[in-house]
Structure 1
Amino acid sequence: MNTLKVRKNFLLDSETIDKATVVLKHKHKNLTEAINLYFQAIAKDPSIVDTIENTAAKRTGGFIGMLDGKIGSGDFKDMKKVHHENIS
């Protein structure tokens, strides 16, 4: 993973920046304007951060990506109990 070092503790993934730049060029003049709008949106609606985090973590392509958000984090015993309740 190539990183771009902006300052001492401010590192960005260069591949992600390249992909985002293509999209941002269609919507905004530059990256600074996009970041400024992002911070304004966060200040007005903090729940946007959760939405963005979920979208960023979502895998794309392949079979496993289709399961994102479909499988919970329950343990096996709970799943087995629910299954037996459903078939009864």
Structure 2
Amino acid sequence: MNTLFKYLAIIEGYSFLLILFITMPLKYIAGMGMPNKIIGMAHGVLFLSYIVVAIIIAQEKKWNFKDTFIVMIMSVVPFGTFWMEEEYLMEEKATS
């Protein structure tokens, strides 16, 4: 489950960056809304999956509320999932 969450965090982070830096400018500057719809739909599914798996991992790893909240809030911060993956998941790997 930890490996799934790691890859999900990375993919969700990239989808968020695609929306922020590519599809939103295309939508509002170039008037091309279709890429935003496609990537936005994928990002929505990835975001919800990230949250669900984060809750499962938090219960499995017995994270406290603060750590669980940080992991979840990083999904709405640009580059946050990359930091979270490095900080929380790599740290556990080193101690295991």
Higher normalized strand content (fraction of residues):
1
Question: Is the TM value for this pair above 0.5?
Answer: no
- Shorter-normalised TM-score: what interval? under 0.3
Q: TM-score, normalised by structure 2?
A: 0.26
Q: Using CA pairs under 8 Å that are at least 6 residues apart, name the structure with larger relative contact order, 1 or 2.
A: 2
Q: TM-score, normalised by structure 1?
A: 0.28
Which protein is bigger by CA-based radius of gyration?
1
Higher normalized helix content (fraction of residues):
2
